[in-house]
Structure 1
Amino acid sequence: MPRQYDHRKVLATTVDAWGRALWLICPDAELRPRSHGRPYPQPRTRPYDALLVIDSEGAIQEQFLRGVSLRVTQLDALPNGRFVLEGYGDAGKHNAQIYGADGRRRRSFAMGRAVEYLMADRRHHVWSAYFDEGVYVDPISAAGLVRWDSGGNHQWDYAPPKGIEYIDTVYAFNVDDGVAWASYYPTFPLLEARTNGRIRLRTTPVVAPVGMAVHKDQIVTLGGNRQPDRLHRCRMTEHEALLIEEARLTLPNGAPLKRYARPVGRGRHLYLHGASPRQWYVMGI
């Protein structure tokens, strides 16, 4: 993130389907302590005007989003200059909002509780993946993986084939145009879900990955087998992912990879950042 924003509080950040880094900033926010982990930024008042900083290969653009009423935890870009936000709201139900290119809110809707991932593609599809605190108590979250259109209209729920475990928590997620990939607890199959309704599950030797990059018949997972810096490269067949090699991911300067935030998988690229949300790193296959 450019240095002129260093003093600002970042509510949420991601890398979108066009490879742009996004940072949502609340000009009037304070840090609130958690019972565990790092403090989080909390808007002092709601609604508020948020500043969205967009970095497209070094070209910086600013966009104001007016009248945000959520404590935003996730965001993504949609086609035609729009954006979708997800977070905590006063009503507790309408936890997602869509904003137009003019920065005005177009719609609020319920996306379900305990959203682990919110990701969109360039073809007007939005995916939400969930963890157990929503799966077991919320009818929207119950499927574990849901697809919406870019207007916030519900399109599809995941239903596992007979004999396959349902989703408890999605651990690793990747979205490309027209397809989502997921690895989920308890059995960690590799789920391929396409927007034409086709799904495929493969067995994999990797347990509990936290990120993945996918290209053609190759998949690289990060953090599998409870080792945060471990990479597993696999070749996919019709029914399984076969391990080819293992490696360790380091920072560009060769330093060991320590604690990092939840990675963002976009097709063949995997983006991640450390304790600070202000700098993204990218790994590709």
Structure 2
Amino acid sequence: MQKTALIPYARLPRAHHGRHIVTSTVDVFGGAHWLLAERAPQPGGDVPLVDALVVSVHPDGNVELTELSAVRASGSYLGRLPDGRFLVATSRARGHEDRDQVQIFDALGRQAASFFVGDAIEHLLTDEAGHIWVGHFDENPAGIRRWNATGQLTWTWDGARIPGLVDCYALNVSGTSAWACTYTDFPLVEIRPDQRVTVWTNRIRGARAVAVHRHRVAFYGGYGEERNRLAHGELSETSVQPTDVGLLTLPNGDAPGRRRVAARGSRIYVQAEPFTTWSVFDLNS
């Protein structure tokens, strides 16, 4: 089976390796960001991370440091808005009373807003317009929704006719559009800026990330032995036509173990344990 090696993309500067990595992401403009704390949060605790730090490595190689105050210890997701503000969110929430599920921090690292977007977050990605796209796993029937940075709901999948949307397995946000692959039927879904939705049927099951470039698509991940599968396809009018299947490896050829993924347009970014380095696969290359 053909192997495709990821390309090294961004690395956490070694000076910060002594801190605990809470989470990490790649933003819509290609900047890589790490949320760091002095120590690992206590399990189940909501104690603020008083000395939280975001380390950003921009595509030009410049490094930026942003200190954040009183970040939730259970923060699972990090995002950067186009105006430079950061957001931190936790996947699990106790209900509408959990008004600090998503925290927005100003340029000085102070909390400027907070709001609730729903329990069971699987994916959270920001776009070029400052929208916050949230994909939920199967404990929340909300599926996929879009919010603005003040906590106003601006799009839901209700009426979009996305078949079998029980769990948002894969979410890709590029520009102001989103692509998704959802359980149980695994269609490929495009949600455009004008909120029009296009659905292609798809036989490739279980992917955890998707990349799209023109008429081509790549799905990363799967069940069991297909965990590191990289499946390619082409878009017809109504369906994804599979073309070839291989494996996606780390730059050194090894299979990733524990990992994070972030999909942006034609790119799938992969961060393997110990989570200090992002690597990239680009369907456009």
Normalised to the residue count of structure 2, the TM-score between the two structures is: 0.87
- Contact 2:99-2:114 at 8 Å conserved across structures: no
Q: CA offset at residue 31 of structure 1? A: 5.7
- Contact 2:41-2:74 at 8 Å conserved across structures: no
Q: CA offset at residue 225 of structure 1? A: 5.4
Closer, same or farther: CA 98–63 of 1 in aligned 2, 3 Å: same
Quick one: which of 84, 103, 113 aligns to 1:97?
103
Query: In structure 2, what is the equivalent of residue 39 of structure 1?
Result: none
Aligned-partner residue type, residue 130 of structure 2: H
Query: In structure 2, what is the equivalent of residue 60 of structure 1?
Result: 63
Query: In structure 2, what is the equivalent of residue 18 of structure 1?
Result: 29
Query: In structure 2, what is the equivalent of residue 170 of structure 1?
Result: 168
- Contact 2:93-2:119 at 8 Å conserved across structures: no
- Answering whether residue 229 of structure 2 is matched by residue 230 of structure 1, we say yes
**Structure 1, unaligned stretches of length 5 or more?**
35-41, 136-141
Closer, same or farther: CA 211–169 of 1 in aligned 2, 3 Å: same
CA distance in 1, matches of 2:119, 2:51: 24
- Contact 1:70-1:95 at 8 Å conserved across structures: no
Q: What is the DSSP-based 3-state SS (H/G/I as helix, E as strand, rest coil) of the residue aligned with 2:186?
A: coil
Q: CA offset at residue 59 of structure 1? A: 1.7
CA distance in 2, matches of 1:11, 1:161: 35
- Answering whether residue 263 of structure 2 is matched by residue 283 of structure 1, we say no
Aligned counterparts, 1:149-228, within 5 A: 149-161=148-160, 165-224=163-222, 226=224, 227-228=226-227
Residues 119-140 of structure 1 show CA distances to partners (whole Å, capped at 9, x for unaligned) of 011122210000012x1xxxxx
Aligned-partner residue type, residue 172 of structure 1: A
Closer, same or farther: CA 105–223 of 1 in aligned 2, 3 Å: same
CA distance in 2, matches of 1:104, 1:89: 22
Q: CA offset at residue 152 of structure 1? A: 2.6
CA distance in 2, matches of 1:223, 1:189: 15
Q: CA offset at residue 206 of structure 1? A: 0.4
Residues 88-141 of structure 1 show CA distances to partners (whole Å, capped at 9, x for unaligned) of 6796343001112221211110011010001011122210000012x1xxxxxx
**Structure 2, unaligned stretches of length 5 or more?**
1-11
Q: CA offset at residue 179 of structure 1? A: 1.0
CA distance in 1, matches of 2:160, 2:146: 18
Closer, same or farther: CA 277–212 of 1 in aligned 2, 3 Å: same
Q: CA offset at residue 247 of structure 1? A: 1.6
Aligned-partner residue type, residue 22 of structure 2: L
Normalised to the residue count of structure 1, the TM-score between the two structures is: 0.87
Q: CA offset at residue 143 of structure 1? A: 2.2
- Contact 1:219-1:233 at 8 Å conserved across structures: yes
The count of residues paired between Structure 1 and Structure 2 equals 267
Closer, same or farther: CA 69–169 of 1 in aligned 2, 3 Å: same
- Contact 1:159-1:166 at 8 Å conserved across structures: no
Taking CA–CA contacts closer than 8 Å with sequence separation of 6 or more, which of the two structures ends up with the larger relative contact order? 2
Q: CA offset at residue 32 of structure 1? A: 4.7
Query: In structure 2, what is the equivalent of residue 128 of structure 1?
Result: 134
Residues 168-200 of structure 1 show CA distances to partners (whole Å, capped at 9, x for unaligned) of 111111111121111111111111111211001
Identity %: 31
Q: What is the DSSP-based 3-state SS (H/G/I as helix, E as strand, rest coil) of the residue aligned with 1:280?
A: strand
CA distance in 1, matches of 2:160, 2:106: 38
Q: What is the DSSP-based 3-state SS (H/G/I as helix, E as strand, rest coil) of the residue aligned with 1:4?
A: helix
CA distance in 2, matches of 1:220, 1:281: 16
- Contact 1:192-1:200 at 8 Å conserved across structures: yes
Computed over aligned residues only, the root mean square deviation of the Cα atoms, in angstroms, reads 2.1
Query: In structure 2, what is the equivalent of residue 118 of structure 1?
Result: 124
Q: What is the DSSP-based 3-state SS (H/G/I as helix, E as strand, rest coil) of the residue aligned with 1:232?
A: strand
CA distance in 1, matches of 2:178, 2:22: 25
Aligned counterparts, 1:265-284, within 5 A: 265-284=263-282
CA distance in 2, matches of 1:69, 1:252: 34
- Contact 2:235-2:241 at 8 Å conserved across structures: yes
- Contact 1:171-1:182 at 8 Å conserved across structures: yes
Q: CA offset at residue 74 of structure 1? A: 0.3
